[in-house]
Structure 1
Amino acid sequence: MILIIFYLSLINSFITNYTQFTGMAKVDSQFYLSSIGGLIKVNNNFNLEKYYSYFDGLSSHYLTDLSCDPDSNLWIGTKYGGLIYFDSKHKKFQTYPKGKIPFEININRIIIENDTILLATNSGLYVILTKGTFANFEDDSVFKIEYPQIPTNNIFCLLVADDIWLGTNRGVSKIKKDFKTVNNYLKPLGDTVKAIIKAKDTLFVLTELGIAYFKNERFYPFFSETLKIVYDFCFYKNNFYLATHSGLFKIIANSQKNLDTILKDKTVRLYPTYKKDTLLALVHGGAPTIIGYLFLLSDTFSQKIWLPTIFSSIVSDAILDGNGNLYLAHFMVYSGVDFISLIKPDNSIIFLQDTLINSRSLAIDQKNRLWIGHWAIDGGVSCYLPEENRFQVYQWGERSLKNVIGGIGIDYYDTKWIRNGENIIALDSLGNYYEFNILNLGKLEEFAITKFAFDRKNRVYLGTLNGLLMIDHKNTLNNLNDDEIRIITDGLLSPIINWCSSDRKGRIWVATPNGAGFLKDNFSFEIFTTQNSGLLANEVYFVDCDKYNRIWFLTKEGISLYYPEKKKWQTFNQYFLPNWEKRSNFYRSFTINDYFGEVLIATEDGLIRFPYPEEPFISFEPKIYPNPIIKDKNNVYLKVSNLPQNVKLKIYNFLGKLIATDEDFKKEKGEFIIKIDQKFKGGLYFLTIETEEEKFIKKFVVIE
């Protein structure tokens, strides 16, 4: 089954499902929507005009709310990124100084009253007095109202009327506008207050047990119902509407009991005044990460508005075919997911419904067909034939661990190598398959795709929990007797191989939890760590190679590039997306496509897609001398020349112990000089030379 969904007019370097909306603001005739995936601008007809992501200047794409100031600029609340100011005229983002508004807080709601900005957060109420100069942060006064002035710091909502009202997880607080007097009202009906409104000169609050109203300095029940998870409510055309986890409901007039169901999808925000005679609702999809939509309701019509997006923000794997079609798998959006997002070269988005469930890993063969591995005992492998618009299925029994697919690789002869829950299967181009039952293969991990690599002899390599597996089948798949199979660990600091890849010379590179490296001719590894290389972190998730034979490493702290021929390192964090929530499998796959010159990084928040630099960089060439250094007299020095400004130098011994830093070097006539004194024993040393963009490692030897 194939379903064409939308046309996406703008492809960004970050592709995600941005329809998990959290807030809306109107600026002139346009609407801005905050979401878990970024900021969206739509016109008055709700057509998408622009999408802004982390790579457009947002300090975080986990946006929680937004509000418009009198100058028609936006203030945007986030998780993990503090408060953001958006100049709507010049389309520029500025992050509010984190010394005033910390990045660590979650901003739940924003209200701007005259020249004052109020932030409801999980760390109290922040008040910003702008003095009327919204764009000038330096003259702002910022203070906080927090526990014990109010019963809790966890504030969900705000209302500014004659007083300032806060909805918290411990009732309601009323604050005078001089911020000197606070009154607290515990349990107005339930404990948690998610929304506060004023209707017909009466204050109403929404709790998990229903709606209460305020009169004579106390709250009274108005509508009693065990709603449990509630988000928002409003008063529209003489009726109350409730936004809840279970849907959108209308309280039937003259009834304190009955609800009329409008929608059954999770509804999070309601806006009764943004569009004339229309109630506008922000609705999420049925699962946490699938498509949300806008809902319009009036006396004469109701309408769902879908914006162009991929099926889910969770991308488990991504691959380009030879025609520029981009396929995305969305494993574990929910159990049984069977949709693949296909972004065509014209940017139209198609949802492919697979014939098997839990689509997880992807590969493209020489005939431009898509191969999909499925994680289920009734899964297996499916093959999508784009010209015929259909799927073929390959299974090994109806219910078997052989159908639980960890990864698929395709070698030079178009043979599909499949890692499953029991063994490894080779499926040749004629449909014949051969099984390799290997001891110590190790278990599969649910969220970690296994990657195959192939050297120039067409030997097969696979990362496992016990080392690097090599299968030399001598190109005779039908003769298992001449096979050479081994698991290689010699030289590794960790036997766990997260990912493997081959470079232009046929060398096999590995990424491990404790460094990265390549396999030498003697079947041992040369390993790089932060101490002897330009790796940004020892925890390396992925490795791949581009057409210039540059080796790309995706680490816990960012992307490092290595030029083996020049032994140079470069940091490439322009397109690195931080894992703010510290999820253990946030980065799902890493693929380089040389035909289109693109890098694809699949993450649980979306796909990072960018062109890699066309030309190898040309930079400074550090020189060190003498090398080796012979300690045959009292004053022996190491000299380093041909360095740029603001360089950082460190020296480590062979065991990784830090021996010297910048402070130990002297600069004379453009050279950096260090005395080789008693702390330098005989042996091998590593000099790290680091700038903001590059990191070099130079080796030198001290002989006593």
Structure 2
Amino acid sequence: MKAFCLFFLLLLPFHNYAQKGAAFSNLSMENGLSQNSVISIAQDQKHFLWFGTRRGLNRYDGFQFRIYTNNPKDSKSIPHNVIDCLLADSFGQLWIGTINGLSRYDNKNDNFIKVKILNDTINCIYEDPQKNLWVGTYNGLGLLDRKSGKFKIFRFNKLDKNQRINNIYSLFKDHEQNLWVGTGYGLIRMTINNGQSRAVLFKNSAHSSTSISANYITSITSDKANNIWIGTDKGLNLYQTRGTFAHYTHNSNNINTLVHNDIRDIICNKDGTLWIGTQEGLSILNPKTKIFTNYKHNPDQNGGLTQNSLHSIFQDVSNTVWIGSFYGGVDALFPYSTGFKTYRASGLISSLSSNIVSTIVEDDRHNLWIGTEGGGLNHFNRSNNTYTHYKSIPGNNNTLPSNLVKTVLRQKNGNLIIGMHEGLISIFNPATKAFTRQITNVKDTSNNRGSADIMTILEDSSGMIWVGSRDGLNNISSSSDHTLKSPIEKKLLSRYVQTLFEDADKNIWIGTTKGLHLYYPKTGKLAYFTKKKEMPIVCSQITSTVSYKPQMENFVLGPILAGFPYLIPEQGNLKPTHKKMVCATTMYLVLLKIKEVIYGSARIMDCQYSIR
């Protein structure tokens, strides 16, 4: 299941990010992260992102965080809140390394299984190309026997008596099957043949300019040409022949050098560049030209790095790069240039009346009518970039009754129907700039006034006006000062109507908090899309719709809180033509292809769905 799409990134092409205009997005405690020190990052097979912090483990679904912490009374909680490393392996298992041992996430029971391997601090977890799992600790290197679940332990005291040689911080296996082991006392190249290991130690030497630059090895990777790059606390090293190293360090007189010598993490990006996280910012290295592009936190720059002390870098399946810092949470750099321009409220120039935008419609001249929360209605003239504000003025009937605009519909005659807070509705004539009618929404057939916000308004092909709110489904007549109850409402699974849409076949789609409904005006039949009990992650709360018609097929875009919609037939024998429905959720983008709908049978419609 392609569960994690990170807000539609998987649909977009991959581009090179290494440009000075790169804009970072940030997630921090303000967004629900348990703590702002993000030391490790991984992504599981369901595409959930996992962030290890110094105060618990965080699972991110693209919308919200779920936090896992240690509970001393629960043996199935994580062994410690300080998470130093994470790995999602090729078998679908998530491994968690803490300062109090190793654990594995049990996805079925949503808890953790403690793994016996030297109840010690786990510094790194690595799966090699042969799918062997290696674990670096403060007291040796572990190799997992997946059949027995036990670890074989390697120690390197024969290479040097200094105990720091068994402090394992980084691991990497090259194309020649050499396992490179980064320790606190040098770099080890290890090979295993017929069960026997052989190791060579590379240490810094003050007497050799081609020895490795430092003995504290923090990270190891290779580029696409299979060159081995080693990060240390004293610069970057490129392994050369016969145990020699080329050094790349910071030069304050050259902006195209490493941003800082204290390296915490290195990854090889899918575009071939090396991303290097340091104590003082991010460097992106072109391995061919040996030129560094650097990024540092700038308090005067929007969209820059949140903080310079970087500890983890991870590239997800959508090619977004996530960068964990010690104080600033996690920054994300998306693999494409959005080209978006942001329009904000300003007291100095013609601008929006409020930064909280709830709805937008376009008129025949391609100008925009923008509804806001607290700022009323805005008209944006694209030809001269000016705004006109329409706000509530108490005692003036030719103004909005409320500045809390929830939805705007542009009618076929050009008038705007504006839905607002507490069931208020206004009709506005843009040609005369006059509010011609004020309508109240009702909550029952006795026409008692409702108080729920107007969520959605639709004018169908026959001219009927539909109104959806928590107070149900209503219609607007041509003369009444209040709405009228729709007879369809009593058939809905929920009275809370959040979205309305008419498709090319003139059928009405109704989104509620308990499912998606399809109404056929010609027959009066109503079909439902609801959740399926056996689906692990599913909800049917439809919140909005947008349509477009590529190549004669009908598309509906509707955010759902989570999961896959499907149809429960009611009655009849209708067989609609092929349709596709795209459901954008807060977690997923779902493409649902409806092949046929057969009423009068117990089976669910034949459909296909996929996650984007």
TM-score, length-scaled by structure 1: 0.40
Structure with greater proportional strand content: 1
